[in-house]
Structure 1
Amino acid sequence: MSIQNMINELTSRRSVIEQGNEEAVKKLHADSKLTARERIEELLDTNSFVEIGAFVQHRATDFNLSVKDTPADGVVTGYGTIDGKLVYVYSQDVTVLGGALGEMHAKKICAVYDMAMKMGAPIIALLDSTGVRLQESTDALNGFGQIFLKQTLASGVIPQITAILGTCGGGATIIPSLSDFTFMTKKATNLFVNSPNSLDSKSETLETIASADFHSKETGIVDFVCQDETSLLSEVRNFVNLLPSNNFEESPIFDTNDDLNRASSELNDIVTEDISAGIDMKVVISQVADNNLFVETKANHAESLITGLIRLNGQTVGVVANQSVDNDALLTSIACNKGAKFVNFCDSFNIPVLTFTDVAGYSATVAEEKSGISKAVSKLLCAFAGATVPKVNVVVGRGFGTAYVAMNSKHIGADFVYAWPNSKVAMMNSDSAVKIMYADELDNSKISTKEINNKTAEYEELQASPYAAASRGYIDDIIEPAATRKRVIVALEMLYSKRESRPEKKHVTV
């Protein structure tokens, strides 16, 4: 056979693989969905994708599988760039055996994981699969295990991002749970371990226990919910740009046209005499961020604690803030778990952490006690205390009790703590503190209302005032709210070369 004939055969074989099943592709398009390859093309820079393993096929023969053609074995794998940044990607092809995972399918995914780890590049999973390939049984189970192992080894080394673009059921749901961030479209997607008809409650449906809405609000598995596939892939592109490629890179720094000295009079206006009214932290964050841009993670989950990424003077910074409007400024178990995971991610990838604190204590409910809120708080506290990245805290309202201690306080290792002049830092609010200290006198009517008011004012001055905390070195400076952006940027610039060693150990046991 001549070389030209060989090239023609190569071209023909590759064309068959890339074009796929025409009828199946038409059905996808009719449902307003993209093919596995179209998703990659939409995600990556134009013409940057290089496929790996296009000619891989299954080798199983049981249950007539030998007569079934499986182009690329149902998953497209390779690498490319996003705005010039190297990334690895795998995209499951639902037109091939429903995108079900088998032995060779899994080996392809593991191969791109190995390359991503060697090159120190993010990996993006585009999931659309009916689950495990039953015809391959234990080989498929081994495939799942190998993928989970690769994900575990990659955790904290390279960013792992997952997008749910169809069905993700059974064991495959562990993939997004092992990832750092998960995106999901609103329609035509499901994420579930057990199908609704197998649950003890027969009233459940895919909409109630498997939808993007459910997982973004209830379980917190999904970080971002998008309208459609195109917008999702665009958001993934933007999000990847905010992250370093691996744990050896510093937090990315970009050019910015926003003045680092920009003051925000709106932050002065947001302060009220009634500290219990709370502060809308999303306004605070946006006013501080470059160009007022904030990418919030898990926005619909545990809304009393806000997490996300901003840029400050061009540098990516992680933000954790108590959302005290409509939430009574109380920490909950799910909020603590949400915050701990985010802080651990930032610490793993050298992203500085900025906190805005307005916390009055813990949510006092039976449900919280049953959930073991103290354990959840310990995880948040441990994440802040263990993080060695630059850490800056701004107390914008209340800082009460051990809830304040857990919120990146000076006591557990924050590098800089600033406070607004309206803030209060104490064991609890002054009214409650005085009532406890003078409980006997109040019970016996030995103290007047006027005296109680005087004692409350005295407690405010001696114990709850930010100046009292600053006099003891627990707060580094009291700043004008409008100057918050400038002061935080200056602090982070000073902390850029921070190096902090810790006792040698494998990991914490909390």
Structure 2
Amino acid sequence: MDKKQLVSAQAAVDKVSEKARNFIGGIVDEGSFVETDAFVVGAESQGVTGEGVVTGYATIEGTPVNVFAQNADVMLGSIGAASAKKIVKCMQRACKTGTPLISVLDCSGARLSEGTAVMESYAQLLAMAAEVAETVPHICVVKGVAVGMTATFAAMADHVFMSKDAVLSVNSPMYHASKLSAVPKLNKMAGFDAYKSAGITVNDGFASEKELKGKLVELLATIGVIDREEAEDDPNRVFSALTKKYDVKSALSALCDGGKYVEVNPDFAKDVVCAYAKVNGISVAVVAGDSSENNGYMSENAIKKAASFIKKANAFGLPLISLVDSKGFDPTLEEELCGFADKTACLFKAIASYEHPMIGVACGNAVGAAYSALMSKGIGFDYTLATTAAAIAPVTADTGVHVFYTEELKKSNGAKARKALEKQFESDMASPLAAAGEGYIDNVIEAGDLRPYVSSALLMLLGI
């Protein structure tokens, strides 16, 4: 082959892959993308090089990543044996080099003309996705259509961004539409807004390449993949306002470096906040209860959200910080019969099998199963704190008075007397000092001192 032939072949590749290459270029460092396997031609490719997918490597903020982007301009980005082989090679390179994988999906499904071969190819892709999940961070971007087993591939990623115009569906969206009397737009039926409300698979959305790149950088930096100079924030910074009035957002701002954190699924199950952050320069995962939602109890969706997040945080190798403010679980009968116990079991399993340091803090109510799951020594927490405002008990105060103050309750008259009994219960049986006295709480602190104590505990547990 002479230079003229090479230039001609490269021009043909560039022409069919221009949009996919430009998208990759918009989310990685300028000029850093190097394409691999550009000249692959499959048996069913209709003479078009590239196989409907662009693969290669690049940098984001100077940190190496491996990336592939399906090219909807070539056979609608469909999966065939040759395109699957290209993607698998890219994923294998990510695992071998220990660098993150960025996958960009825009795929109409399988090339049915390839028969059994395409089913085998999908199986190889999903098997490789499982291996990646155990090895390196996998960030998936649903750019356009992701149907069939491509949707399953997306669900196996650690974090999923979805375009506001994209569609994600295991079954054909057209099939779902055929079952409806009034047919909505496909992206309304199986798009970002639908997944945001459901709180599953998709973690965040984006409207432009610029917005996506900013979110990618923030996520990768927060989980410790990207090393960048952080603004200095005193690890001993005290947030006095938190002692006067506790709320979860203020607590997170007080705890995290610069008051910044990357929240996951913020619009779903708001009674628990799941976020990646840095504390004293250390990348951490934070699960925080919000008692202002759902009457102070953890909902079924919150339990599911927390369990999923904790599993991913464990895979990232992050210390876990749990800020507890919950009365526990309070399922309806309908929820019980739809597998509520199974979901709580998933949460307990996720925490019991956590392989990295865990710090639990009782910031408000730490009652019943919420205490046991989210901060107990018994489940595996390495260091536990409680603020002076915490209430640690098997039951809530309003239930406790019925159990422990039966006679006093009979003699009491009115709401004021009942309130006094609840205060007595909190003092006698829910005091953080009592839990500390039994060795279950390592220290009792003012809420405003949350950051200094957690920062110090992280250094101790990590041996820094």
Question: Which residue in 2 is equivalent to 1:7?
Answer: 3
Identity of aligned residues (%): 30
Partners in 1 of 2:236 and 2:407 — Cα distance? Answer: 53
Partners in 2 of 1:483 and 1:320 — Cα distance? Answer: 18
Asked if 2 retains the 8 angstrom alpha-carbon contact of 1:156 and 1:345, the reply is no
What is the deviation of 1:44?
1.6
Partners in 2 of 1:208 and 1:123 — Cα distance? Answer: 28
Q: Secondary structure at the match of 1:474?
A: coil
Q: Does 1:163 align with 2:159?
A: no
Asked if 1 retains the 8 angstrom alpha-carbon contact of 2:299 and 2:330, the reply is yes
Asked if 2 retains the 8 angstrom alpha-carbon contact of 1:423 and 1:465, the reply is yes
Question: Which residue in 2 is equivalent to 1:508?
Answer: none
Deviations 1:63-98 (A, max 9, x none): xx6xx2323111000111112211110001111011
Asked if 2 retains the 8 angstrom alpha-carbon contact of 1:361 and 1:403, the reply is yes
Moved more, 409-418 or 92-101: 409-418
Letter paired with 1:461: S
Question: Which residue in 2 is equivalent to 1:29?
Answer: none
What is the deviation of 1:431?
2.7
1:33-72 equivalences in 2 (<5 Å): 35-60=19-44, 68-72=46-50
Q: Secondary structure at the match of 1:71?
A: coil
Partners in 1 of 2:406 and 2:279 — Cα distance? Answer: 48
Partners in 2 of 1:453 and 1:51 — Cα distance? Answer: 69
Partners in 1 of 2:227 and 2:344 — Cα distance? Answer: 30
Q: Secondary structure at the match of 1:72?
A: coil
Q: TM-score, normalised by structure 1?
A: 0.85
**Runs of 5+ in structure 1 lacking a partner?**
26-34, 246-250, 272-278, 499-510
Letter paired with 1:221: T
Which one of 198, 207, 229 corresponds to residue 218 of structure 1? 198
1:74-89 equivalences in 2 (<5 Å): 74-89=52-67
Q: Does 1:357 align with 2:334?
A: no
Partners in 2 of 1:292 and 1:257 — Cα distance? Answer: 12
Asked if 1 retains the 8 angstrom alpha-carbon contact of 2:298 and 2:329, the reply is yes
Q: 1:454 to 1:303 in 2, by over 3 A?
A: closer
What is the deviation of 1:119?
0.9
Asked if 2 retains the 8 angstrom alpha-carbon contact of 1:347 and 1:388, the reply is yes
Question: Which residue in 1 is equivalent to 2:380?
Answer: 413
Question: Which residue in 2 is equivalent to 1:103?
Answer: 81
Q: How many residues align?
A: 459
Q: 1:16 to 1:136 in 2, by over 3 A?
A: same
Asked if 2 retains the 8 angstrom alpha-carbon contact of 1:381 and 1:408, the reply is no
Asked if 1 retains the 8 angstrom alpha-carbon contact of 2:254 and 2:450, the reply is no
Letter paired with 2:31: N
What is the deviation of 1:197?
4.2
Question: Which residue in 2 is equivalent to 1:18?
Answer: 14
Q: TM-score, normalised by structure 2?
A: 0.93
Deviations 1:363-420 (A, max 9, x none): 3323321222222112112211221211111111101112221113223121111111
Partners in 2 of 1:79 and 1:453 — Cα distance? Answer: 64
Question: Which residue in 1 is equivalent to 2:116?
Answer: 138
Asked if 2 retains the 8 angstrom alpha-carbon contact of 1:290 and 1:311, the reply is yes
Asked if 1 retains the 8 angstrom alpha-carbon contact of 2:360 and 2:385, the reply is yes
Asked if 2 retains the 8 angstrom alpha-carbon contact of 1:252 and 1:315, the reply is no
Deviations 1:206-260 (A, max 9, x none): 2443110111221411101122233113312332233355xxxxx9785441111
Question: Which residue in 2 is equivalent to 1:267?
Answer: 242
Deviations 1:287-330 (A, max 9, x none): 21111111001112222211111111111110101122232221
Which one of 378, 388, 395 corresponds to residue 362 of structure 2? 395
Question: Which residue in 1 is equivalent to 2:175?
Answer: 198
Moved more, 100-109 or 320-329: 320-329
Letter paired with 1:238: E
Q: 1:348 to 1:360 in 2, by over 3 A?
A: same
Question: Which residue in 2 is equivalent to 1:310?
Answer: 277
Q: 1:253 to 1:481 in 2, by over 3 A?
A: farther
Which one of 312, 315, 337 corresponds to residue 304 of structure 2? 337
